[in-house]
Amino acid sequence: MNNMETEGAIHYDPAIDNSVDDINAYLEGTDRSLYNFRDESTDYYKVDSGLTRDIVDKISEEKHDPEWMHEFRLKCLDIYNNLNVPQWGPPIDGLNMDNIVTYVRPNTDMKASWDQVPEEIKSAFDKLGIPQAEHEFLAGVGAQYDSELVYHNLQESVAKMGVVYSDMESALNGPYKDMVKEYFMHLVPPTDHKFAALHGAVWSGGSFVYIPKGVKVEVPLQSYFRLNAKGAGQFEHTLIIVDEGADLHFIEGCSAPKWNVANLHAGCVELYVKKNARLRYSTIENWAKNMYNLNTKRAIVEEGGRMEWVSGSFGSHVSYLYPTTILKGDKSSCEYTGITFSGKGQDLDTGCRMVHMGKRSSSLITAKSLAKDGGINTFRSEIKVLPEAEASKSSVDCQSLMLDDISRSDTIPEIDVRVDNCDIGHEAKIGRISDEAVFYLMSRGIPENEAKAMIVSGFANPISKELPLEYAAEMNNLIKLEMEGSMI
Amino acid sequence: MMTDTRSLNVNILPCPTWNKLSVNRATVDISSFSKEKEKPQFTLNNLGPVRRTKIRAVEAEKYADSLSDGIRREAYIAGKRAIYQEQHFQTGLGRELTDFLLENVDEAEIYTVPEAAEVYAPVILKWEFGKTGHSASMQVIHALKDSHSTFLIFTKSEKEASGELMMETKVILEEGATVNLIKVNLLGDGITVLNDTGALLRDNATFNFTQMVLGGNKNYVGCFADQCGDNTIFNINAGYLVNKDHLLDINYHGAMRGKNSDAKIFVKGSLSDSARKVFRGTIDFRKGSKGSKGDEQEDVLLLTPGVINKTVPVILTEEEDVDGRHGATVGNLLPDMLYYLGTRGIDSKAAEMLITRGRLLSIANTIPDDETVNFINLFIREAFEVNECF
Residue of chain B minimizing CA distance to A431:
B323
Q: For residue B349, which phi and psi values (nearest 5 degrees)?
A: -65, -45
What pLDDT sits at residue A144? 81
- Tell me, yes or no, if A346 comes closer than 8 A to chain B by beta carbon: no
Helix (H, G, I), strand (E, B) or coil at B211: strand
**Averaged confidence pLDDT in chain B:** 91
Lowest mean pLDDT among A222-236, B80-94, B291-305, B349-363: B80-94
Q: Closest CB to B16: pick one of A87, A402, A424.
A: A87
Examine the domain organization and report whether A97 and A24 are in the same domain: no
- Please report, as a single letter, which amino acid is at residue B274: S
Residues of A in contact with B320 (CB under 8 A): 402-405, 407, 432
Domain residue spans of chain B = 7-342
Structural domain ending residue among the three candidates A287, A302, A321: A321
- Tell me, yes or no, if A345 comes closer than 8 A to chain B by beta carbon: no
Classify residue A383: in a domain, yes or no.
Answer: no
Q: Closest CB to B23: pick one of A89, A378, A414.
A: A414
Residues of B in contact with A320 (CB under 8 A): none
Indicate yes or no: CB of A414 within 8 angstroms of CB of B17: yes
- Closest alpha carbon to B256 in B280, B226, B235, B231: B226
Q: Closest CB to A414: pick one of B21, B327, B332.
A: B21
- Closest alpha carbon to A5 in A29, A33, A43, A42: A33
- Please report, as a single letter, which amino acid is at residue A53: R
CB B203 within 8 A of CB B232: yes
Examine the domain organization and report whether A42 and A175 are in the same domain: yes
In chain A, the number of structural domains is: 2
User: What average pLDDT does this structure show over B336-352?
Assistant: 87
Examine the domain organization and report whether A224 and A301 are in the same domain: yes
DSSP state of B206: E
Helix (H, G, I), strand (E, B) or coil at B345: coil
* Mutation site, B253, B309, B312, B321, interface A, largest A CB count within 10 A: B309
What pLDDT sits at residue B81? 60
CB B285 within 8 A of CB B322: yes
CB contacts < 8 A (A, B)? 154
- Closest alpha carbon to A252 in A458, A468, A108: A468
Q: Which residue has the higher pLDDT, A488 or A415?
A: A415
Examine the domain organization and report whether A201 and A171 are in the same domain: yes
Q: Closest CB to A417: pick one of B304, B309, B317.
A: B309
Name the pairing type of β-strands A408-417 and B308-317: antiparallel
pLDDT at A18 over 70: no
d(Cα A358, Cα A303) in Å, to the nearest integer? 8
pLDDT at B62 over 80: yes
d(Cα B301, Cα B329) in Å, to the nearest integer? 9
Examine the domain organization and report whether A5 and A121 are in the same domain: no
pLDDT at A73 over 90: yes
Contact residues for A405 (Cβ-Cβ < 8 A; gap 6+)? B290, B319, B320, B321
Indicate yes or no: CB of B327 within 8 angstroms of CB of A384: no
Residues of B in contact with A387 (CB under 8 A): 305-306
Q: Closest CB to A428: pick one of B310, B311, B326.
A: B326
Write the ipTM.
0.88
Residue of chain A minimizing CA distance to B19:
A88
- Closest alpha carbon to A32 in A10, A13, A61: A10
- Tell me, yes or no, if A391 comes closer than 8 A to chain B by beta carbon: no
Lowest mean pLDDT among A41-45, A103-107, A244-248: A41-45
Examine the domain organization and report whether A7 and A66 are in the same domain: no
Examine the domain organization and report whether A236 and A183 are in the same domain: yes
What pLDDT sits at residue A40? 63
User: What average pLDDT does this structure show over B55-70?
Assistant: 91
* Bridge partner list, B173: B143, B201
B160-193: per-residue pLDDT in tens?
A: 999 999 999 999 999 999 999 999 999 999 999 9
DSSP state of B114: P
DSSP state of B383: H
pLDDT at B322 over 60: yes
Structural domain ending residue among the three candidates A283, A304, A321: A321
CB A236 within 8 A of CB A225: yes
* Mutation site, B326, B337, B355, interface A, largest A CB count within 10 A: B326
- Tell me, yes or no, if A378 comes closer than 8 A to chain B by beta carbon: yes
d(Cα A78, Cα A100) in Å, to the nearest integer? 18
- Tell me, yes or no, if A424 comes closer than 8 A to chain B by beta carbon: yes
Classify residue A96: in a domain, yes or no.
Answer: yes
Classify residue A413: in a domain, yes or no.
Answer: no
CA-based max dimension of chain B: 62
Helix (H, G, I), strand (E, B) or coil at B220: strand
Q: Closest CB to A347: pick one of B79, B306, B317.
A: B79
Domain ranges, residue A290: 33-321
- Closest alpha carbon to B79 in B365, B317, B389: B317
* Bridge partner list, B326: A428, B296
Residues of B in contact with A413 (CB under 8 A): 312-314
- Closest alpha carbon to B52 in B102, B105, B103, B123: B123
Q: Which residue has the higher pLDDT, B357 or A8?
A: B357
CA-based max dimension of chain A: 70
Q: Closest CB to A428: pick one of B315, B322, B332.
A: B315
Indicate yes or no: CB of A405 within 8 angstroms of CB of B323: no
pLDDT at A445 over 50: yes
Q: Which residue has the higher pLDDT, B7 or A485?
A: B7
| pLDDT band of B388, cuts 50, 70, 90 | low
What pLDDT sits at residue A36? 59
Residues of A in contact with B337 (CB under 8 A): none
Q: Closest CB to B329: pick one of A376, A378, A424.
A: A424
- SS3 labels along B237-305: EEEEEECCCCEEEEEEEEEECCCCCEEEEEEEEEECCCCEEEEEEEEEECCCCCCCEEEEEEEEEECCC
Residues of A in contact with B78 (CB under 8 A): 376, 378, 408, 410, 412
Indicate yes or no: CB of B15 within 8 angstroms of CB of A427: no
Residues of B in contact with A415 (CB under 8 A): 309-312, 328, 330
Distances (CA, A) of B81 to A93, A200, B17, B52, B76: 12, 28, 11, 41, 4
CB A62 within 8 A of CB A103: yes
- The percentage of chain A sitting over the pLDDT mark of 90, rounded to a whole number, equals 53
Structural domain ending residue among the three candidates A260, A291, A321: A321
- SS3 labels along chain A: CEECCCCCCCCCCCCCCCCHHHHHHHCCCCCHHHHCCEECCCEEEECCECCCHHHHHHHHHHCCCCHHHHHHHHHHHHHHHHCCCCCCCCCCCCCCHHHCECCEEECCCCECCHHHCCHHHHHHHHHCCHHHHHHHHCCEEEEEECCEEEEEEECHHHHHCCCEEEEHHHHHHCCCHHHHHHHCCCCCCCCCCHHHHHHHHHCCCCEEEEECCCCECCCCEEEEEECCCCCEEECCEEEEEECCCCEEEEEEEEECCCCCCCEEECCEEEEEECCCCEEEEEEEEECCCCEEEECEEEEEECCCCEEEEEEEECCCCEEEECCEEEECCCCCEEEEEEEEEECCCCEEEEEEEEEECCCCCEEEEEEEEEECCCCEEEEEEEEEECCCCCCCEEEEEEEEEECCCCCEEEEEEEEEECCCCCEEEEEEEEEECCHHHHHHHHHCCCCHHHHHHHHHHHHHHHHHCCCCHHHHHHHHHHHHHHHCCCCC
| pLDDT band of A484, cuts 50, 70, 90 | low
Shortest Cα distance, chain A CAs vs residue B263, angstroms:
14
- Tell me, yes or no, if A421 comes closer than 8 A to chain B by beta carbon: yes
Indicate yes or no: CB of B327 within 8 angstroms of CB of A426: yes
Shortest Cα distance, chain B CAs vs residue A435, angstroms:
10
Examine the domain organization and report whether A69 and A213 are in the same domain: yes
Examine the domain organization and report whether A24 and A41 are in the same domain: no
pTM of the model: 0.88
Classify residue A117: in a domain, yes or no.
Answer: yes
Helix (H) or strand (E) holding B103: helix B95-104
Classify residue A373: in a domain, yes or no.
Answer: no
Residues of A in contact with B278 (CB under 8 A): none
Shortest Cα distance, chain B CAs vs residue A421, angstroms:
6
* Mutation site, B325, B334, B348, interface A, largest A CB count within 10 A: B325
* Mutation site, A192, A193, A417, interface B, largest B CB count within 10 A: A417
For the CA atoms of A49, A53, A59, A61, the dihedral, rounded to the nearest 10 degrees, stands at -140
Residue B45 CB neighbours (<10 A): 14
Residue of chain A minimizing CA distance to B16:
A88
pLDDT at A479 over 50: yes
A166-223: per-residue pLDDT in tens?
A: 999 999 999 999 999 999 999 999 999 999 999 999 999 999 999 999 999 988 998 8
CB A285 within 8 A of CB A471: no
Shortest Cα distance, chain B CAs vs residue A411, angstroms:
5
d(Cα A133, Cα A143) in Å, to the nearest integer? 12
What pLDDT sits at residue A355? 97
End-to-end CA distance of chain B: 46
pLDDT at A1 over 80: no
* Mutation site, B292, B319, B337, B352, interface A, largest A CB count within 10 A: B319
Q: Closest CB to A88: pick one of B18, B313, B331.
A: B18
Q: Closest CB to A410: pick one of B315, B330, B332.
A: B315
B124-136: per-residue pLDDT in tens?
A: 999 999 999 999 9
Indicate yes or no: CB of B290 within 8 angstroms of CB of A405: yes
d(Cα B110, Cα A178) in Å, to the nearest integer? 74
Distances (CA, A) of B328 to A394, B280, B308: 11, 12, 15
d(Cα B153, Cα B128) in Å, to the nearest integer? 11
Examine the domain organization and report whether A293 and A184 are in the same domain: yes
Name the pairing type of β-strands B178-186 and B206-213: parallel
Contact residues for A237 (Cβ-Cβ < 8 A; gap 6+)? A168, A184, A185, A199, A203, A205, A206, A267, A268, A269, A270
Residue of chain A minimizing CA distance to B292:
A431
Residue of chain B minimizing CA distance to A370:
B320
Indicate yes or no: CB of B321 within 8 angstroms of CB of A432: yes
CB B324 within 8 A of CB B293: yes
DSSP state of B34: B
Residues of A in contact with B76 (CB under 8 A): 91
Residue A83 CB neighbours (<10 A): 17
Indicate yes or no: CB of B330 within 8 angstroms of CB of A422: yes
Examine the domain organization and report whether A171 and A284 are in the same domain: yes
Residues of B in contact with A378 (CB under 8 A): 78-80
**Averaged confidence pLDDT in chain A:** 85
Helix (H) or strand (E) holding B364: helix B348-364
Distances (CA, A) of B354 to B176, B277, B337: 39, 21, 12
pLDDT at A20 over 50: no
A310-367: per-residue pLDDT in tens?
A: 998 888 999 999 999 999 999 999 999 999 999 999 999 999 999 999 999 999 999 9
CB A239 within 8 A of CB A168: yes
